[in-house]
């Protein structure tokens, strides 16, 4: 298989339960009961309302333009807007130094936030303050090869993460009852050398689990003393959704349609705003990790707006990952991040509610490759310098309701007219074949299930021109 050729991550077998241990085990209060409606029906309605990037957003994408000869200047106004946008508030008071925690060791979970106090609102970090005598300076002053610049402190969530250290911080969106507030763990590795800040977000949809493990394996393999730049990982952004096995927030909204958020908007707006202001604006690069939804599975792939030259260039770092053009929907984290000048893509891998080793491995490999390409780490890649494969894509829908049985597998090459699967009517015994509408590759598909007419069943990618060539 395409993605499994890299051999350098074999040392990654710390227990998976680690992250789970790091999570508060207390369950959130149920979402407000409203009007006695059947929750199952509401869930279905939501599923229809909340478009998924897998289907409608890709369909609505503007067609990919041929790469222009000269770099587009479209990104510039957005960057200027970003410059005028409110900057993250910097507290003038001295910040506490984040403790240096070896992320390879199992450490205690972040402690819950103390009751809300305006004086500490900007300091949600909850670790015990640590004296600077933790001696990272000594490490920083060790002789370095080839003159990389020493890093500075990384100021995040009210803490200063010193160069050459890693730590766990906590982000709280402030929407919960203060006394019951559950902070969301944030892993930070600040390298000993200067470089870009890469942010990794997972489980914005609370039922999408592969990203949690992709972030754990990626970050826990980093050595701050060999890192240039910093990596910030939020394995479980939507903690309430994760605890309830739900894609959505407690107010039944899709968080990934509310970025960059508003401080006075809906609950989803406020959570989005908090995450965006407190963390995302500190990132130079962002990879937002998702899976297929609604019983669909995705070949590991990037979703990227290939009409944006900066984003298109960014995708080149991801090894031999499939890259699917999608201009994205308003409110998505990646589009909001790109709008303020952050290089951002969505990484899709596998299906929701599952932990899938092969998909995780592909994700970890591509992120490791990205960090190497960005000069953040240096590793021996056994297989050289492969490039991503670019796709345009379209969905094939079921035209009949019934039970879907697929004849093709994820990743299969298909040709136009080929039968991809059947929908069987369980009562009449009618069999309705579903045909491919183009030559290409199955980059996403529904798992076998009951479907209605119109259900998006197969996502066919057709190879596209590599941007800039």
Query: In the complex, which residues of this chain contact Zn ion (CB under 5 A)?
Result: 205, 208, 290
Residue 162 or 239: the one with the smaller Cβ distance to Zn ion is 239
Cα–Cα dist 258/399, whole Å: 32
Q: Which residue is nearest to Zn ion (CB)?
A: 290
Q: Which residues contact 213 (CB under 8 A, 6 or more apart)?
A: 16, 19, 355, 360
Q: CB of 247: closest distance to Zn ion in angstroms?
A: 7
Residue 423 or 456: the one with the smaller Cβ distance to Zn ion is 456
Residue 160 or 208: the one with the smaller Cβ distance to Zn ion is 208
Q: CB of 210: closest distance to Zn ion in angstroms?
A: 10
Cα–Cα dist 248/235, whole Å: 16
Residue 55 or 460: the one with the smaller Cβ distance to Zn ion is 55
Residue 237 or 342: the one with the smaller Cβ distance to Zn ion is 237
- Do strands 193-202 and 165-171 pair parallel, antiparallel, or not at all (unpaired)? unpaired
Name the DSSP class of 105: S
Name which of 269, 261, 242, 271 is nearest 174 in CA terms: 271
Q: Where does residue 390 fall: left (phi above 0), alpha (psi -120 to 50 degrees), or beta otherwise?
A: beta
Q: CB of 442: closest distance to Zn ion in angstroms?
A: 19
The single residue listed with the structure tokens 């998976």 is: 16
Cα–Cα dist 69/194, whole Å: 33
Residue 165 or 297: the one with the smaller Cβ distance to Zn ion is 297
Contact call for residues 210 and 176 (beta carbons, < 8 A): no
Q: Which residues contact 7 (CB under 8 A, 6 or more apart)?
A: 382
The alpha-carbon radius of gyration of the chain (Å, integer) is 22
Q: CB of 390: closest distance to Zn ion in angstroms?
A: 22
Name which of 194, 281, 197, 271 is nearest 231 in CA terms: 197
Q: CB of 300: closest distance to Zn ion in angstroms?
A: 14
Q: CB of 90: closest distance to Zn ion in angstroms?
A: 32
Residue 208 or 213: the one with the smaller Cβ distance to Zn ion is 208
Q: CB of 405: closest distance to Zn ion in angstroms?
A: 26
């Amino acid at each position: 298989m395409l993605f499994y050729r890299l051999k350098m991550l074999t040392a990654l077998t710390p227990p998976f339960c680690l992250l789970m241990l790091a999570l508060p085990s207390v369950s959130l209060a149920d979402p407000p009961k409203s009007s006695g409606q059947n929750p199952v029906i509401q869930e279905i309605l939501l599923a229809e309302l909340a478009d998924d990037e897998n289907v409608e957003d890709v369909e609505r994408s503007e067609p990919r333009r041929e790469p222009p000869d000269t770099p587009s200047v479209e990104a510039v106004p957005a960057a200027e807007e970003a410059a005028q946008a409110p900057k993250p508030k910097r507290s003038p008071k001295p910040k506490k130094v984040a403790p240096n925690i070896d992320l390879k060791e199992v450490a205690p979970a972040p402690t819950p936030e103390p009751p809300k106090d305006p004086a500490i609102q900007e300091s949600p970090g909850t670790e015990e303050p640590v004296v600077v005598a933790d001696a990272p300076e000594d490490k920083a002053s060790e002789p370095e090869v080839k003159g990389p610049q020493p890093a500075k402190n990384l100021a995040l969530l009210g803490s200063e993460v010193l160069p050459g250290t890693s730590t766990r911080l906590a982000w709280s969106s402030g929407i919960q009852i203060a006394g019951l507030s559950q902070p969301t763990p944030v892993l930070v590795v600040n390298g000993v050398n200067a470089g870009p800040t890469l942010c990794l977000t997972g489980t914005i949809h609370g039922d999408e689990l592969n990203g949690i493990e992709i972030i754990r394996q990626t970050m826990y393999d980093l050595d701050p003393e060999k890192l240039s730049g910093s990596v910030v990982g939020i394995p479980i952004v939507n903690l309430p959704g994760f605890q309830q096995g739900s894609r959505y927030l407690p107010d039944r909204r899709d968080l990934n349609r509310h970025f960059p958020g508003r401080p006075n908007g809906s609950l989803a707006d406020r959570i989005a705003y908090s995450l965006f202001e407190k963390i995302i604006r500190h990132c130079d690069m962002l990879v937002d990790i998702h899976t297929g939804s609604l019983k669909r599975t995705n070949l590991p792939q990037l979703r990227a707006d290939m009409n944006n030259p900066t984003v298109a260039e960014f995708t080149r770092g991801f090894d031999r990952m499939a890259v699917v053009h999608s201009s994205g929907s308003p409110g998505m984290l990646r589009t909001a991040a790109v709008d303020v000048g952050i290089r951002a893509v969505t990484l899709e891998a596998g299906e929701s509610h599952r932990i899938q080793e092969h998909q995780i491995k592909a994700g970890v490999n591509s992120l490791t490759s990205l960090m190497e390409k960005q000069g953040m780490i240096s590793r021996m890649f056994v297989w050289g310098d492969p490039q991503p494969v670019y796709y345009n894509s379209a969905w094939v829908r079921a035209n009949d309701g019934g039970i879907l049985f697929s004849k093709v597998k994820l990743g299969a090459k298909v040709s136009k007219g080929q039968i991809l699967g059947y929908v069987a009517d369980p009562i009449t015994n009618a069999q309705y074949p579903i045909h491919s509408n183009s030559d290409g590759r199955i980059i996403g598909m529904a798992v076998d299930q009951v479907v209605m007419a119109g259900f998006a069943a197969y996502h066919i990618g057709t190879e596209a021109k590599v941007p800039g060539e």
